[in-house]
Chains A and B, each alone.
Chain A
Amino acid sequence: MNEIYLDNSATTMTCEEAAQTACRMMTLCYGNPSSLHSKGHEAAIELEKARASCAGLLGCEKEEIFFTSGGTESNNTAVFGAARALKRRGNKIITTAFEHSSVGEAVQQLEKDGFEVICLKPDQKGRFSPEELREVIDDKTILVSIMYVNNETGAIQPIECVRRIIERAKAPALFHVDAVQAFGKLPVKPKKWGIDLLSASSHKIHGPKGAGLLYVRKGARILPLHFGGEQEQKLRPGTEPVALLCAMGEAIRQLPDLSQELTQMQTLNRFCREQLAGIENVHINSDLDCLPYILNFSVEGIRSETMLHYLAEKGIYVSSGSACARGKKSHVLAAMGLSPARIDSAVRVSFSRYNTLSDVEELVKEIKNANNTLARSRQK
């Protein structure tokens, strides 16, 4: 059976070049980068090459890139690290109601510890409102954490204006951006947008799972969550997973020209929308302005999980809501005010550069089949 993988926002296939890099690092260049001998030095050089690739993509200094195990660790490090470092200067944390759980759950922990947490609500397009941010921020706000692209809908957040709002309010806040779904897909400019902390992950852009990074602006100070050796300027001690990190570097170097790829995704996304629009019971949940890599829609009457298994039987892999919240109802779509029937039947497809128009045709064909043959739940 032909395999059509349309769940690239959950994870991607590791590209051949990155896999080979990982293999080479594991079997040949296996030294510990902290070792003083030449075997260690050789690994350290490779690791710095990977760091340079990350810095290049973000347009920042190499020293501002801190390797982690992935998006969740980066987000946790940023949220807890900032709260700890600034707790004497204030008590308020502002985030959104549609963050990934690795930010959402983290701030909930801080709320239990006595921080005041404010969650900005999304509008119908799934975006927070800068006006609302302006209203709630004050000079006791120590952290503003907002994702760049939402993982379920693809909604792109207006984060360029946040720095100015923080400054106008004279808030001591650090500004954190979870850019996991945008990194390598949209231009991400931490310098220009005044971002202090930014999370990114390797396995969403055809690198291996288990690698990621946290950008920390020079001068921004956060406290570490782990203690031990001197690695990563003591922010993230522990022997580096060199093979995975170097493979992430390779995956970044393999990225096609961003705007070219964006055009390709635009074509897939539009075609998919047009085809789906003609099907009865189908509602598109992603706004037109969303990142074209992600398209969220509902096939009313058919539960997400049923649709997912039906498509999987045909070799088509999609996601219900987000993969991290297996089986749970989407808090993102709920925050956008969608009806329970729409949330229950939401499906997310997410594209990569390996997808083609015929993949989309196949998907649409099977959605039509499902729509006609599957027994519908009669709840509305």
Chain B
Amino acid sequence: MMKEIILIKLGEIVLKGLNRKNFEDTLMRCIRRRLAKIGEFHVRDAQSTIYVEPVHDDADMDEAALCVSRIFGIAAYARACVTEKDLPAIQQAAAEYLKDTLEDIRTFKVEAKRSDKKFPFRSPEICTEVGGYLLEQYPHLTVDVHHPDVVITVEVRDFGAYIRAGLERGAGGIPVGTGGKACVLISGGIDSPVASYMMAKRGLELMAVHFASPPYTSERAEEKVVELLRRVARYSGRLKMYTVPFTKLQEEIHEKCKEEYFTIIMRRFMMVIAERLAREKGAQALITGESLGQVASQTIGAIACTDIVCGMPVFRPLIGMDKEEIIDISRKIDTFDISIQPYEDCCTVFTPKHPRTRPVLDKVVEEQAKIDSEPLIEEAIANVKVRDIL
């Protein structure tokens, strides 16, 4: 049986000058940790390529490739077969390993890279020999050096020869953890998982804060968020979810404040609580799924009123996106079908009939002052429930 490995080409991180080593180390750690769930793999770094090699022959390489395709910081990857550095062995392995691909195509070309200069054939000779052999084995094929259906690459390295067909596009972005840590406010809708994904892609490690208001919201709504975060974690890696009991604050706002300010005051408290939790856990920014003008609480005026309570940066990666664009990403990361399950969430419970779209900050502050909020905020934070999302 032929041995299969995954070759990984680095993305943007090669641009990062002196930090490069740090980025590469983080990426290696990410890859190791994420693959550990699937099986035992050797992950090593040589000649600007990362090699993922299974320790056991029965490793699930489909699952491993899928996992690699979701790790940020990877520009491209390919599954390849390993052989001895011996021309007949390389020829045979190419014909056998690429059988399914070669049967489906008409034209191909072979490219060779020889970094082991002790190998007796030079790169053009490798191309000719391997290409010739494949033409003999698969008579329906022809060589096309300009527009081939498939490019077959043979790499002769210090420790072996690799054969692969094409490269798959990786998840892009930069490795999770190189950008620090941020805290996402997640409700259960379509937007916040997409926002989480997008910021993880820019190298942020995530933590999540969810607001629960039993009995107005149910355990199922909370389970739904857990399920959404599990999908996000396929890209971001593991994270912690903090569930904040929010009922008392919501009831208090509902009772004491004018209805049209309800949502905005509620969101201000959410930001305050999220920021405190974020600081406590070492995060440096908040993430929300807001998109300008999508609902009343996401107008420029409403965002101004909520933003001001927060002393750390608030990232809103969806701010300029249309709903359709957001849905496209949520389908890609497989969160859409979970998001649309119809459970009440904390944002929909007391939706006012005519919310303020152009709130005046002074008025909001005045309304909010009707509540003695500090003890309630402290109580909510003291009763936060933590869950590990793997």
Question: In the complex, what's the smallest C-beta–C-beta distance from B11 to chain A, in angstroms?
Answer: 41
- Say whether A375 contacts B254, CB under 8 Å: yes
- Say whether B218 contacts A305, CB under 8 Å: yes
Question: In the complex, what's the smallest C-beta–C-beta distance from B128 to chain A, in angstroms?
Answer: 59
Known: A326-B342, A327-B342. A375 touches B255 (CB 8 A): yes
Is B367 on the interface with A (CB-CB < 8 A)? Answer: no
Question: In the complex, what's the smallest C-beta–C-beta distance from B198 to chain A, in angstroms?
Answer: 28
Q: Which 7 residue pairs spanning A and B have beta carbons closest together?
A: A327-B342, A309-B215, A310-B215, A375-B254, A306-B216, A375-B251, A309-B218
Show 11 A/B contacts (Cβ-Cβ < 8 Å), sorted by A: A303-B344, A305-B216, A305-B343, A306-B344, A306-B349, A309-B214, A309-B217, A309-B218, A312-B215, A377-B350, A378-B353
For chain A residues 356-380, which have a beta carbon within 8 Å of chain B? 374-375, 377-379
A301-326: contact bitstring with B at CB < 8 Å (1 yes, 0 no)?
Answer: 00101111110110000000000001
B347-390: contact bitstring with A at CB < 8 Å (1 yes, 0 no)?
Answer: 00110110000000000000000000000000000000000000
Q: Which residues of A contact B343 (CB under 8 A)?
A: 305, 327
- Say whether B218 contacts A379, CB under 8 Å: no
For chain B residues 33-81, which have a beta carbon within 8 Å of chain A? none
Chain A residues in the interface with B (C-beta under 8 A): 303, 305-310, 312-313, 326-328, 374-375, 377-379
Q: Which residues of B contact A379 (CB under 8 A)?
A: 353
Per the bound structure, the CA–CA distance linking A306 and B349 in Å amounts to 9
Per the bound structure, the CA–CA distance linking A327 and B221 in Å amounts to 11
Question: In the complex, what's the smallest C-beta–C-beta distance from B345 to chain A, in angstroms?
Answer: 11
Tell me the nearest residue of chain A to B255, going by C-beta. Answer: A375
Is B250 on the interface with A (CB-CB < 8 A)? Answer: yes
Is B149 on the interface with A (CB-CB < 8 A)? Answer: no
Q: Which residues of B contact A306 (CB under 8 A)?
A: 215-216, 344, 349
Known: A328-B342, A375-B250, A378-B259. A309 touches B216 (CB 8 A): yes
Per the bound structure, the CA–CA distance linking A377 and B351 in Å amounts to 8
Q: Which residues of B contact A310 (CB under 8 A)?
A: 215
- Say whether A313 contacts B259, CB under 8 Å: no
Interface size class of B (residues with CB under 8 A): 10 to 19
Tell me the nearest residue of chain A to B254, going by C-beta. Answer: A375
Per the bound structure, the CA–CA distance linking A208 and B29 in Å amounts to 51
Question: In the complex, what's the smallest C-beta–C-beta distance from A166 to chain B, in angstroms?
Answer: 39
Question: In the complex, what's the smallest C-beta–C-beta distance from B371 to chain A, in angstroms?
Answer: 14
Per the bound structure, the CA–CA distance linking A306 and B259 in Å amounts to 19
B311-353: contact bitstring with A at CB < 8 Å (1 yes, 0 no)?
Answer: 0000000000000000000000000000001111000011011
Q: Which residues of B contact A307 (CB under 8 A)?
A: 215
New A-B pairs, 7, CB < 8 Å, besides A305-B216, A309-B216, A313-B214: A303-B344, A305-B343, A306-B215, A309-B215, A327-B342, A375-B216, A375-B350
Q: Which residues of A contact B342 (CB under 8 A)?
A: 326-328
Tell me the nearest residue of chain A to B344, going by C-beta. Answer: A305
For chain B residues 214-264, which have a beta carbon within 8 Å of chain A? 214-218, 250-251, 254-255, 259
* Majority DSSP secondary structure for residues of B touching A: loop
Most buried by B among A310, A326, A375, A378: A375
Tell me the nearest residue of chain B to A307, going by C-beta. Answer: B215
Per the bound structure, the CA–CA distance linking A379 and B214 in Å amounts to 20
Question: In the complex, what's the smallest C-beta–C-beta distance from A345 to chain B, in angstroms?
Answer: 13
Q: Which residues of A contact B255 (CB under 8 A)?
A: 375
Question: In the complex, what's the smallest C-beta–C-beta distance from A227 to chain B, in angstroms?
Answer: 32
Per the bound structure, the CA–CA distance linking A309 and B342 in Å amounts to 15
Known: A305-B344, A327-B342. A313 touches B215 (CB 8 A): yes
Tell me the nearest residue of chain B to A379, going by C-beta. Answer: B353
Question: In the complex, what's the smallest C-beta–C-beta distance from A311 to chain B, in angstroms?
Answer: 8
Tell me the nearest residue of chain A to B252, going by C-beta. Answer: A375
Per the bound structure, the CA–CA distance linking A259 and B216 in Å amounts to 40
Per the bound structure, the CA–CA distance linking A364 and B342 in Å amounts to 28
Q: Which residues of B contact A375 (CB under 8 A)?
A: 216, 250-251, 254-255, 350
Tell me the nearest residue of chain A to B247, going by C-beta. Answer: A375
Question: In the complex, what's the smallest C-beta–C-beta distance from A284 to chain B, in angstroms?
Answer: 23
Per the bound structure, the CA–CA distance linking A374 and B349 in Å amounts to 12
Per the bound structure, the CA–CA distance linking A82 and B360 in Å amounts to 64
Q: Which residues of B contact A309 (CB under 8 A)?
A: 214-218
Q: Which residues of A contact B341 (CB under 8 A)?
A: 327
Question: In the complex, what's the smallest C-beta–C-beta distance from A346 to chain B, in angstroms?
Answer: 15
Tell me the nearest residue of chain B to A325, going by C-beta. Answer: B342
For chain B residues 74-113, which have a beta carbon within 8 Å of chain A? none
Q: Which residues of B contact A378 (CB under 8 A)?
A: 259, 352-353
Question: In the complex, what's the smallest C-beta–C-beta distance from B245 to chain A, in angstroms?
Answer: 13
Q: Which residues of B contact A326 (CB under 8 A)?
A: 342
Per the bound structure, the CA–CA distance linking A1 and B286 in Å amounts to 40
Q: Which residues of A contact B218 (CB under 8 A)?
A: 305, 309
Question: In the complex, what's the smallest C-beta–C-beta distance from B384 to chain A, in angstroms?
Answer: 20
Question: In the complex, what's the smallest C-beta–C-beta distance from A249 to chain B, in angstroms?
Answer: 35
Tell me the nearest residue of chain A to B348, going by C-beta. Answer: A303
Q: Which residues of B contact A377 (CB under 8 A)?
A: 350
Per the bound structure, the CA–CA distance linking A307 and B215 in Å amounts to 7
Question: In the complex, what's the smallest C-beta–C-beta distance from B243 to chain A, in angstroms?
Answer: 15
Tell me the nearest residue of chain A to B259, going by C-beta. Answer: A378
Question: In the complex, what's the smallest C-beta–C-beta distance from A232 to chain B, in angstroms?
Answer: 35
Question: In the complex, what's the smallest C-beta–C-beta distance from A329 to chain B, in angstroms?
Answer: 10
Per the bound structure, the CA–CA distance linking A157 and B216 in Å amounts to 35
Most buried by B among A305, A310, A313, A374: A305
Q: Which residues of A contact B214 (CB under 8 A)?
A: 309, 313
Per the bound structure, the CA–CA distance linking A377 and B350 in Å amounts to 6
Most buried by B among A306, A308, A310, A379: A306
Question: In the complex, what's the smallest C-beta–C-beta distance from A344 to chain B, in angstroms?
Answer: 11
Question: In the complex, what's the smallest C-beta–C-beta distance from B216 to chain A, in angstroms?
Answer: 5
Per the bound structure, the CA–CA distance linking A328 and B344 in Å amounts to 11
Q: Which residues of A contact B352 (CB under 8 A)?
A: 378
Q: Which residues of B contact A374 (CB under 8 A)?
A: 215-216
For chain B residues 178-219, which have a beta carbon within 8 Å of chain A? 214-218
Per the bound structure, the CA–CA distance linking A379 and B342 in Å amounts to 20
Tell me the nearest residue of chain A to B250, going by C-beta. Answer: A375
Per the bound structure, the CA–CA distance linking A327 and B220 in Å amounts to 11
